[in-house]
Amino acid sequence: MKWKPVVFSVVAVGGVLVGVELVLAAAGVAPLAVRTDPFHGFSERLRVFEIDAEDGVYRTRARAARHSFNQQEFPLDKSSDEFRVFVLGGSSAYGFPWGARLAFSSVLERALQASLPERDVHVVNVAAMSYGSHRLRILTHELLEYSPDLLLLYTGHNEFVEREFYDRLTDAEPLPEGLRLWLHRWRLYSALARLLSPAPEKHDTAEDEIGAAKLIGFDADRRYPTDVAAADRETVRVRFEDNLRAIVTAATNAGVAVVLCTVPSNERGWRPNQTWWPGTLSGVKRAAATRAIERAVEANDADDPEAALRAVAEVEAYSTSAAGAWFEKGRALLALSHIDAAAAAFIAARNFDGQPGRATGSLNDTIRTIARDTDAVLVDIEATFRSFAADGIPGFDLFEDYVHPKPGAHVLIAREVWRMQTGSDDEGTFLAALGLPADFDYTSNTDAPDAAQSAETSPLLFNLAVVLENQGRYEDAMERYRRCLELNPGYYVARANLARLLRMTGDSQEAATEYAMVLQVAPDHLNSAIGLGESFRELGMLDQAEAAFRRATEIDREAAGAWNGLGAVYSIAGEHREAERAFRRTVEIDPDNLPVRANLGMAIFFQGRLDEARSVFDASLAVRPDDPGAMNGMGAIAVERNDLDAAEDWFSRVLAQDPENELAGNGLAEVRRRRQSR
């Protein structure tokens, strides 16, 4: 048999490689993954801290502190009695919306200093706005150069925010992600790499820094993905685990202790950002499920939990992963005092969020697993918060919004880390070190943001506006955004949010003005460029809309929304060939987006290529048999071919699931007009 020599050859080579790997392991050759991090080079080219020789300190660089980091400093020369801690994380560890002054890092420093009077304690807050584990992995290498005694990680909420950043980062590597990681775990590759690779060059020139800044930058670009399914969540979890393990390994190899904290979130007080529906769920069923969720909301608001549960049961007949339904179920069960079931429902609502902004349960479980598998120490803040929260379900009693702890909750986080570090359970000693009373209440007595009581700074007003927006109180949210901008006209994220709400509530003219002001301050703000294009399109200003969308495609060539908007402008202008080009580019970027495929089909249809257009619509209908865009397209083709019965059937099917569908309504009217004119 011809295949036998091939099999024997593969087995023989495999056996030799396994033997070599065992010999190298016995000789003490460690994989590169243990000794180095494949992302290490970026930390050499983009530094957060700089030397202030005059004051004898390392200080946060002005560029880093502009939007992302707190201004911090620590001694240039570490004394023998100094205990140096770096706190890494996102905006929750940063202390947003108050800053480092009220963050748990500052509280921890004061408490540890009182408990360790023989040491000079410095707890440095190196958390940054919107930073996920990818960026923290890069940052860790710089921090290890400053001889810390302890790295404390409080991270997990931003893992879905910057997936595009991670893709850019891995694209900069010459090898595919999976192969690169596998090779870094292979001892033979590691031994050859050390023999053949030259010593790494230092990257300390301004040119190197500018190049790195263009790739990764100091400031995270907060773009939430939508329609996140189970497979997407698992992909993110695997990357999160890889990043955390790399951080722990790098610190352990440097002789630095690591503390991993789980990250709790507001479960009972924060609605999911998006309800995701399976692609196999028909449009009719999706519309029915959506209406059932709306009835559940109305029933809960009317203090009728039984009616809410009946509405939720209707949703569950269609999908058991509808985040909005789980949230309303939690509200209803809580009203009926079914506490454990309510808690489980709120957790499911968070975990199934189609636009996740809070750490899922699987990410916190991953943190626990890594702590168990390594020398890292676990501080389970999520469990602690549950023990203090009303009914064991964290809400606004501990959180200012969806993930940012209130000041009292920051003290609670510091208490848990202090207990771990000192081995003491003497809460009185901890509180006395902070000048707090023995009966200090870590939770808030108000079931609302603390900022609602006295929001007098731009960050507090911004955060309050975000909360109000989540609650559907758009006018109140816009009023807070405006007050925020009165205090800080350069707060471009607040202005972008205001512009989005203005568009959402029908004021495209003012929205365009606000988006344009954002782009004056932040020329590369993608969402504002797209929003400006949409606003101009709604105002009928097609030339300006085209320019805005073109600008958005220049900011990010992979921005599907920018290309789709550009195609829509060309369609309105009757430039169907240009529209086709734009929509084809959109489909390349987002091939599973059926509405975009419908747009492409219509652009082809308007050029008279009916058979080609039909093939586009047929492909969509093969995925989702009642896709409204494809059915409208098939109806249009039927009208063009004067098959009025088929056209009526297609348009009627669309209207059965969406009675307000304008295209189907107009199409059906055209069918009737043609029949009457016969």
Predicted confidence (pLDDT) per residue in 424-446, tens digit: 999 999 999 999 999 999 998 77
Per-residue confidence (pLDDT) for residue 469, from 0 to 100: 87
Predicted confidence (pLDDT) per residue in 622-631, tens digit: 988 888 999 9
H/E run at residue 85: strand 82-89
Predicted confidence (pLDDT) per residue in 523-548, tens digit: 999 999 999 999 999 999 999 999 99
| Res 199 pLDDT > 80 | no
**Long-range contacts, stretch 542-546, CB < 8 angstroms, 24+ apart:** 542/569, 542/572, 542/573, 545/569, 546/570
Per-residue confidence (pLDDT) for residue 364, from 0 to 100: 98
| Res 141 pLDDT > 80 | yes
Distances (CA, A) of 548 to 5, 75, 505, 552: 63, 48, 21, 6
Per-residue confidence (pLDDT) for residue 209, from 0 to 100: 37
The answer to whether the beta carbons of residues 224 and 526 sit under 8 Å apart is no
Q: What are the boundaries of each domain within the chain?
A: 40-161+224-272+359-454, 283-352, 516-677
The residue count of the chain comes to 678
- What is the mean pLDDT of the segment spanning 57-62? 94
Tell me the pLDDT band of 471, cut-offs 50, 70 and 90: confident
Per-residue confidence (pLDDT) for residue 129, from 0 to 100: 86
Q: Which range among 315-329, 580-594, 599-613 shows the weakest confidence by mean pLDDT?
A: 580-594
- What is the mean pLDDT of the segment spanning 54-65? 91
- What is the mean pLDDT of the segment spanning 227-233? 86
Tell me the pLDDT band of 217, cut-offs 50, 70 and 90: very low
CA distance 541 to 561: 18
The answer to whether the beta carbons of residues 606 and 614 sit under 8 Å apart is no
CA distance 543 to 573: 10
CA distance 53 to 76: 8
Tell me the pLDDT band of 377, cut-offs 50, 70 and 90: very high
Q: Which residue has the higher pLDDT, 321 or 183?
A: 321
Please give the share of the chain, as a percent, with pLDDT higher than 90. 69
- For domain 516-677, give the fold: 1.25.40
Single out the residue of 633, 621, 637 nearest to residue 661, CA to CA. 633
Tell me the pLDDT band of 218, cut-offs 50, 70 and 90: very low
| Res 174 pLDDT > 70 | no
- What is the mean pLDDT of the segment spanning 48-71? 90
| Res 50 pLDDT > 80 | yes
- What is the mean pLDDT of the segment spanning 571-585? 96
Give the architecture-level CATH label for domain 40-161+224-272+359-454.
3-Layer(aba) Sandwich (3.40)
Q: Which residue has the higher pLDDT, 474 or 190?
A: 474
Q: Please state whether beta strands 49-52 and 57-60 pair in parallel, antiparallel, or not at all (unpaired).
A: antiparallel
CA distance 583 to 527: 19
Per-residue confidence (pLDDT) for residue 96, from 0 to 100: 86
Per-residue confidence (pLDDT) for residue 205, from 0 to 100: 38
Read off the amino acid at residue 35: R
| Res 190 pLDDT > 70 | no
Tell me the pLDDT band of 650, cut-offs 50, 70 and 90: very high
Distances (CA, A) of 155 to 69, 138, 189, 527, 547: 15, 14, 32, 25, 39
- What is the mean pLDDT of the segment spanning 345-352? 98
Give me the helix-helix angle, 133-144 and 163-171, nearest 10°: 60
Q: What is the DSSP string of 534-583?
A: HHHHHTT-HHHHHHHHHHHHHH-TT-HHHHHHHHHHHHHTT-HHHHHHHH
Are 40-161+224-272+359-454 and 283-352 in the same CATH fold? no
Sign of CA dihedral 280, 285, 290, 293: negative
Predicted confidence (pLDDT) per residue in 92-119, tens digit: 999 988 889 999 999 999 999 999 999 9
H/E run at residue 320: none
Most confident of 408-412, 448-452, 674-678: 408-412
Per the prediction, the chain carries an average pLDDT of 86
The helix/strand/coil state of 671 is helix
- What is the mean pLDDT of the segment spanning 605-634? 93
Per-residue confidence (pLDDT) for residue 114, from 0 to 100: 96
Predicted confidence (pLDDT) per residue in 1-23, tens digit: 555 554 455 455 555 555 655 66
H/E run at residue 321: none
Tell me the pLDDT band of 198, cut-offs 50, 70 and 90: very low
- For domain 283-352, give the fold: 1.25.40
pTM: 0.76
- What is the mean pLDDT of the segment spanning 299-315? 97
Per-residue confidence (pLDDT) for residue 623, from 0 to 100: 86
Q: Which residue has the higher pLDDT, 232 or 450?
A: 232
Per-residue confidence (pLDDT) for residue 153, from 0 to 100: 98
| Res 171 pLDDT > 50 | yes
Tell me the pLDDT band of 470, cut-offs 50, 70 and 90: confident
Tell me the pLDDT band of 214, cut-offs 50, 70 and 90: very low
| Res 283 pLDDT > 80 | no
CA distance 243 to 331: 36
Most confident of 161-175, 368-382, 480-494: 368-382
Q: Which range among 137-141, 221-225, 360-364, 653-657 shows the weakest confidence by mean pLDDT?
A: 221-225
- What is the mean pLDDT of the segment spanning 575-580? 96
